[in-house]
Amino acid sequence: MLELRLVQGSLLKKVLEAIKELVTDANFDCSATGFSLQAMDSSHVALVALLLRSEGFEHYRCDRNLSMGMNLGNVSKMLRCAGSDDIITIKADDGSDTVTFMFESPNQDKIADFEMKLMDIDSEHLGIPDAEYQAIVRMPSGEFARICKDLSSIGDTVIISVTKEGVKFSTAGDIGTANIVCRQNKTVDKPEEATVIEMQEPVSLTFALRYLNSFTKATPLSETVSISLSSDLPVVVEYKIADMGYVRYYLAPKIEE
Amino acid sequence: TEVQLSIKRFYRST
């Protein structure tokens, strides 16, 4: 028996909007620790990892580990029927091949049940070892989304370089080139407006902007984003989900042959 | 030319 009750149902709505463009079908894994998902995009260039810890749910009952295969587009269609202030409960009986999403309005005067058939998805799970990163940039998520959007109108790959000057985003295309430098800035009114750069050593990597732009669909989840770079690893773009967990995107770099 | 690497080059299947 699975019954997960999330008072801040809007988080789940935003999570689906954040991942459904990158991944079509995926398994949601439920265990005592939480509700998670790991999936690659169809071209195996990017990977998304979601974790919603059990403590973040008002009620979290998961009698035994369960993996539920779903089409994320269909889940998104159902969750769009939930109000942004609704309480969302995910329910599944042991052995049943359906999952139910229940939406309760804040004053309990409207209760909706959306039931969906589960799918058999044999997804490949990748082991992601903890790593030390040569540079970690923390910046306003809206800022990062704006940079990725602006640069993709000029070119389709971005070189992200971190030096002691700051973090530079560069691209080039048929119409010309663009360079955006963000410097560390801690003197801001609100901490979420700060740009903080931790650099162990300078690093520069090249990535496809199309994937970074799909990662920024997670912007509504968090005021800030962290970008972790190492010359021999995929970039990790992380949006924390307040008090619950995170959505992490991993993107393999492009190299000069 | 630029070559896009696969994520599977960095993380092994479990």
Interface ipTM:
0.97
Whether A96 has a pLDDT exceeding 90, the answer reads no
Q: Dihedral angle at the C-alpha atoms of A165, A166, A167, A168, nearest 10 degrees?
A: -40
Tell if the CB–CB gap between A126 and B12 is shorter than 8 Å.
yes
Q: A236 near A248, Cβ under 8 Å?
A: yes
Judged by a CB distance cut-off of 8 A, whether residue A122 touches chain B is no
- Is A46 an interface residue toward B (CB < 8 Å)? yes
The residue-averaged pLDDT of A85-94 equals 96
Q: What percent of chain A has pLDDT over 70?
A: 100
CA distance A97 to chain B (A): 26
DSSP A241: E
* Residues of A whose CB is below 8 A from B10: 233-234, 252
Nearest C-alpha neighbor of A226 from the set A245, A212, A239, A215: A239
Measure CB to CB from residue B3 to each of A124, A126, A255 and give the nearest one: A255
Q: Can you spell out the DSSP letters for A77-134?
A: HHHTTS-TT-EEEEEE-TT-SEEEEEEE-TTSS-EEEEEEE-B------B-------S
Low-confidence ranges of chain B (pLDDT < 50): none
Mean of all residue pLDDT scores within chain A:
96
Q: Residue A135 corresponds to which tokens in the numbers above? A: 């540079």
Nearest to B6 among A157, A252, A257 (CB): A252
What is the C-alpha separation between A101 and A76, in angstroms, rounded?
A: 11
Of A125, A126, A157, Cβ closest to residue B2: A157
Beta bridge partners of A171: A178
pLDDT tens, position by position, A133-174: 999 999 999 999 999 999 999 999 999 999 998 999 999 999
The closest CB to that of A233, out of B3, B6, B10, belongs to B10
Residue A116: closest CA among A98, A103, A92, A102: A98
Average pLDDT over residues A87-108: 95
Query: In terms of pLDDT, which residue wins out, A111 or A242?
Result: A111
Q: Give the HSE-up count for residue A147: Cα atoms under 13 Å, Cβ half-sphere.
A: 22
- pLDDT for the residue A217: 98
Which pLDDT band, with edges at 50, 70 and 90, does A30 fall under?
very high
Q: CB of A207 within 8 A of CB of A215?
A: no
Dihedral sign (CA A72, A78, A80, A86): negative
Q: Give yes or no for a contact between A205 and A159, defined as CB atoms under 8 angstroms apart.
A: yes
Backbone dihedral angles phi then psi of residue A58, each to the nearest 5 degrees: -70, -35
Distance from CA of A158 to the nearest CA of B (A): 12
A41: nearest CA in chain B?
B7
